[in-house]
Amino acid sequence: MTGRSDTLPWEVEAVAGAASRARARYAKPVVVPDGLELLAGPTSGVVALPRHLKWSGSAGYDLDEPGRIMDLYRTVINEAATPDDLHRYLNEAALKSLWETIWLPAPVRTAWEHRFPELATARTSTEPA
């Protein structure tokens, strides 16, 4: 046989397992604050993120424009290197009101909702039955 059709199932599983282990080994850690009350960032005005948070494109976010605060929150949550990044740029009340609509990778959302069950509760209480 030629091509991929001669690959045995155990070979596929071995390759998939190795790829999964490699992703886990090099995965960026998820940073979560110690408490939501520590999130004291702005909710209006223009915010310029440092390069370690927004490394390409415009680093400025006008939080008074619809949608930009959500873009900022998604970027900061995904790229934070320390809890201080979260404390400086996120706001507790704004995060709670935006949580259910912010697109986040599953491992990130899971880490936050595990630490703060009230975020998961708020999200599931608004989902249709």
Model confidence pLDDT, tens digit, residues 60-72: 999 999 799 999 9
Identify whether 7 is part of a domain: no
Domain membership flag for residue 18? no
Beta-carbon contacts of 43 under 8 Å, excluding residues fewer than 6 positions away, are 63, 69, 91, 93, 94
pLDDT reported for residue 47: 96
pLDDT of residue 66: 78
Q: Is the pLDDT of residue 23 over 80?
A: no
- Do the domain assignments include residue 40? yes
Residue at 100 is within a domain: yes
What are the b/e assignments for 56-74, b being 16+ CB within 10 Å? eeeeebebeeeeebbebbe
Residue 26 domain-assigned (yes or no): no
pLDDT of residue 56: 79
Whether 22 is in a domain gets the answer no
Q: How confident is the model at residue 108 (pLDDT cuts 50, 70, 90)?
A: very high
- Does the pTM surpass 0.85? The reply is no
- Does residue 16 lie within any of the structural domains? no
Q: How many domains does the chain have?
A: 1
Q: Which residues contact 41 (CB under 8 A, 6 or more apart)?
A: 47, 87, 88, 89, 90, 91, 94
In percent, the amount of the chain with pLDDT more than 90 equals 63
Domain that holds residue 97: 32-126
Question: Cα–Cα distance between 105 and 126 in angstroms, integer?
Answer: 20
End-to-end CA distance of the chain: 50
Q: Are 33 and 83 in contact (CB under 8 A)?
A: yes
Q: Can you tell me the mean pLDDT for 100-109?
A: 95
Q: Is residue 8 part of a domain?
A: no
